[in-house]
Amino acid sequence: MATLQDLVAACRREEVTYQPSGRDNFTKYGREFGADGQPWCVMFCYVVAGYAGVTLPYKTAGVVDLASWASKNRRKRAPDAIQPGMMVAFDWTLTRTGVAPVETHIGWCVERFGRTITTVEGNVGNRDEVVSRTYGVNDRAVWLGVDFTDLFPAGNRFLRYPNLARGAKDHSSTGIFPDPGSPVQTLQNALNIVTGREGNNPDRLSPDGDFGPLTERAVRDFQDFFKVPEIGGTVGANTWEVLDYVLDLKGR
């Protein structure tokens, strides 16, 4: 099964290796999609998904058409909800309506840190390039997300999270879960989920982004219960991996 990591790797590989043909809209993506010579930002997304091992449902080369399909099939997401594994549709009229199809564009979201997303997009600029760009989710050009995260499961969603120990603090807390930009808060929320202490539970950890004594105690309890081979109270690759596994078991 393809993973989110496969999709991100495929996008990044195309960003590095793609060479424009010099002929406007004539690309390998158009040839593989079956519509060479046409605007190809959507085609890029479909073909790269194929490189990652996934055939996307509902084949189309139109951004507005894809957005309409997403809305009808419960795959449309608000800008604030966009995560890696979703396509990001843009509306350069800044109306977030798609009223002018020629003013729309799309790419894959490959990273999210706090309220900032990074995309890889095809058909960019005068040279028809494949590039990565960064946007705030409140940018009016960001129209909507098309959610394909179910087709690209994250594998170990915490694979790139840092080692943590008592005294670690996030720079800011966003409330998003998981959030690579707020690893301590992500840890605290994950521990609350796996121990059934979410919501208004009086015993829940406060997800304040501060790795204090209560968080350390919760980490130790988790490690003891699941026999995690880690130095007690510190969070490394083993603890992150087991947290991911237990969250998967809980369907989260």
202-212 pLDDT per residue, tens: 999 999 999 99
Pick the closest to residue 88 from 40, 129, 48, 121 (CA basis). 121
pLDDT tens digits, residue range 56-114? Answer: 999 999 999 999 999 999 999 999 999 999 999 999 999 999 999 999 999 999 988 77
> Is CATH 3.40.50.300 correct for 156-252?
no
Establish whether domains 4-151 and 156-252 are of one fold.
no
The one-letter code for the residue type at 193 is I
Pick the closest to residue 2 from 65, 43, 49, 45 (CA basis). 49
pTM exceeding the 0.75 threshold for the entire prediction: no
pLDDT on residue 235: 95
Low-confidence spans in the chain with pLDDT less than 50: none
The topology (CATH level 3) of 4-151 is endopeptidase fold (from Nostoc punctiforme) (3.90.1720)
Residue ranges of domains in the chain: 4-151, 156-252
The conformation of residue 210, written as its DSSP 8-state character, comes to B
State the DSSP H helix or E strand holding residue 117, giving kind and residue range, or none if neither: strand 116-124
pLDDT on residue 245: 87
* Lookup: tokens for 108: 């894959």
pLDDT on residue 174: 67
Please say whether the beta carbons of 180 and 153 come within 8 A: no
